[in-house]
């Protein structure tokens, strides 16, 4: 039986790179290693599980309001941890705005999940909550999707491989953009090269926040500094997965960036 979360994690997530980036940015800014990661909108908390596995002193707090997905994470990603690693990972079913948990060195909002916030006033409230929940010197890191093609009818298709099930097409589609509200809808589908289709198994209704908007909201929420980490290009002009701190860039068809805010 095909597990759509196997397909999703293979197509979309790269916890090794995410964890390395988060740790590198924190150490560059703070001159010490981070210990506690909080992962908001964690889903199956793959990044949190990788975080506690990566170093013996690291702890993680994974937060999501979808209890069903957290249970899937228990089966998929908690089960593969040692007893010591399990003790260092806490997952909580809660709205990220109201969650009560321990303080973190880093709070990560990944997979473009910041787009779930559609109203500015709610985002201000969330960022203020994040600031209170950080340790002294803590940071918030979120990823962003942009570029002029993102507002058009986008269609991306590429092959992924599962050892247990063979090859599949990963299909990412845009289904309409509202420029007044900055709302956009996306879906993820998978299709086996043998023909079986898993259509629209993941759906998203996001607001496309701009970098200046988010920088202003972080400032309003009390954060001291914000930094943009922009993805470089490979020899073909596509993203190379290497993010460096930038203050000015040229727009392009599609871009991915990280925004980091310091408490």
pLDDT at 67: 96
Q: Tell me if the pTM is above 0.85.
A: yes
pLDDT at 129: 97
Q: Do residues 87 and 172 both lie within one domain?
A: no
The residue whose two tokens read 């929940």 is 133
Structural domain span for residue 76: 4-146+208-262
Q: Do residues 129 and 240 both lie within one domain?
A: yes
Q: Which residues of the chain have pLDDT under 70?
A: 237
- Longest distance between any two alpha carbons in the chain, whole Å: 53
- DSSP state, 119? -
- Mapped onto helix, strand or coil, the DSSP state of residue 103 is coil
Q: Do residues 36 and 88 both lie within one domain?
A: yes
pLDDT at 237: 65
Domain count, the chain: 2
How do residues 64-89 score in pLDDT, each as one tens digit? 999 999 999 999 999 889 999 999 99
Q: Do residues 110 and 228 both lie within one domain?
A: yes
Last residue within a domain, chosen from 163, 181, 207: 207
Q: Do residues 98 and 54 both lie within one domain?
A: yes
Cβ contact 35:19 at 8 Å: no
Q: Do residues 44 and 111 both lie within one domain?
A: yes
Identify the CATH number of the domain in which residue 235 sits: 3.40.50.150
Q: Do residues 106 and 61 both lie within one domain?
A: yes
pLDDT at 150: 87
Q: Do residues 196 and 238 both lie within one domain?
A: no
Q: Do residues 141 and 53 both lie within one domain?
A: yes
- Which ranges of 109-208 would DSSP assign to H, the alpha helix? 120-132
Alpha carbon distance 252, 195 (integer Å):
34
Last residue within a domain, chosen from 187, 207, 227: 207
pLDDT at 242: 87
Q: Do residues 129 and 164 both lie within one domain?
A: no
pLDDT at 74: 93
- Write the CB contacts of 135 (distance below 8 Å, at least 6 apart in sequence): 36, 103, 104, 105
Q: Do residues 181 and 225 both lie within one domain?
A: no
Q: Do residues 142 and 71 both lie within one domain?
A: yes
pLDDT at 153: 80
């Amino acid at each position: 039986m095909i597990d759509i979360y196997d397909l999703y994690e293979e197509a979309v997530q790269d916890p090794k790179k995410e964890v390395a980036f988060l740790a590198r940015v924190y150490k560059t800014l703070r001159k010490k290693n981070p210990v506690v990661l909080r992962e908001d909108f964690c889903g199956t908390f793959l990044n949190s599980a990788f975080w506690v596995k990566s170093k013996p002193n690291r702890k993680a707090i994974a937060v999501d309001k979808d209890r069903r997905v957290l249970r899937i994470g228990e089966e998929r990603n908690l089960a593969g941890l040692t007893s010591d690693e399990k003790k260092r990972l806490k997952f909580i079913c809660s709205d990220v705005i109201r969650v009560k948990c321990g303080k973190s060195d880093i709070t990560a909002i990944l997979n473009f999940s910041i787009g779930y916030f559609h109203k500015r006033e709610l985002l201000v409230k969330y960022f203020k909550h994040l600031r209170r929940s950080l340790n002294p010197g803590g940071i918030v890191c979120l990823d962003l999707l942009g570029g002029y093609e993102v507002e058009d009818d986008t269609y991306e298709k590429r092959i992924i491989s599962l050892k247990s099930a063979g090859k599949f097409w990963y299909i990412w589609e845009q289904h309409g953009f509202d420029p007044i509200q900055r709302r956009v809808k996306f879906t993820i589908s998978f299709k086996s090269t043998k023909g079986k289709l898993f259509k629209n198994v993941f759906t998203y209704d996001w607001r496309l926040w701009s970098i200046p908007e988010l920088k202003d909201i972080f400032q309003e929420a009390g954060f001291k500094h914000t930094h943009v980490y922009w993805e470089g290009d490979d020899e073909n002009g596509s993203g190379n997965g290497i993010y460096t701190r930038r203050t000015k860039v040229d727009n392009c068809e599609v871009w991915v960036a990280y925004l980091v805010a310091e408490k």
